[in-house]
A = this chain, B = another copy of it.
Amino acid sequence: MSKKKIIYTRQEMFEFNRAILMKRGVTIEEIATICYQQQSKYNDNVTMGLCIESVEKILSLRDIFHHVQLACEIDRLAEAHAFEGPIQDIILEDLGLFGIDETMGLDVSGLYGTIGQTNFGDIDVNKRGIVKTLNDLGKEDDKCHTFLDDIVGAIAAAASTRVAQVLNEDLAHEVEGIERFSIFDL
């Protein structure tokens, strides 16, 4: 087995993710804001605190860690013109028919169930909040947000689904009043 460090704790993964998102121009609050705006349409009990907590938990998970780190690095390498062959300009120009960024986004957004994936579609097609900003900035010369805007939208969509589930879990228990497993203890 390799001596290189390739397995990280949740705390470490969270910190790496916060740092690389920051470097690429995105804060946790901006992601949580999309989540808040999406869920507050359906439920009065949503708070920014719950949205931020949800984004933070998501950013500490291994699969998300890999997605965030790879997405940010592909964008950076495209800005540096490091890719050879046709894929360099396809990524840098964010070709409309290029869909691997969406494939990754669908994977991330499905973390708490399929409804996250339709939420992601809404955020992606209608360019909500920071996703629009990233998309617009990505059109500047040698600036590339092809993967970042989808990953950010997908995290917001997953957080949105987690918020809905936490609030429903609460609802189930008000109705039931019985003992339960701890919430979201997977």
Contacts and interface: CB of A to CB of B under 8 A. Distances in A.
Interface of A: 2, 4-12, 16, 20, 42, 57, 60-63, 66-67, 69-70, 73-74, 76-77, 82-87, 89-93, 95-100, 102-107, 110, 112-115, 117-122, 124-126, 162, 164-165, 168, 171-173, 175-176, 178-181, 184-186
Contacts of A107: 100, 103, 114
A173 B114 CA distance: 32
Contact of A121 (B113, B125, B164, B171): B125
A9 B176 CA distance: 8
A9 to B, nearest CB: 5
Contacts of A179: 11
Given A8-B86, A63-B113, A121-B121, 9 more contacts: A7-B97, A7-B175, A9-B176, A70-B91, A73-B84, A96-B164, A97-B113, A122-B124, A122-B125
Sorted from nearest, which 10 A-B pairs have the closest CB atoms?
A121-B121, A99-B114, A122-B125, A69-B87, A118-B121, A102-B114, A10-B181, A4-B89, A118-B124, A184-B186
B9 A180 contact: yes
B57 A186 contact: yes
Contacts of A122: 121-122, 124-126
20 contacts: A2-B93, A5-B175, A6-B90, A6-B95, A7-B97, A9-B176, A57-B185, A60-B181, A62-B113, A69-B87, A69-B90, A70-B100, A77-B77, A97-B113, A97-B115, A99-B114, A100-B107, A122-B122, A126-B126, A184-B186
A29 to B, nearest CB: 20
A86 to B, nearest CB: 6
Contact of A97 (B84, B104, B165, B184): B165
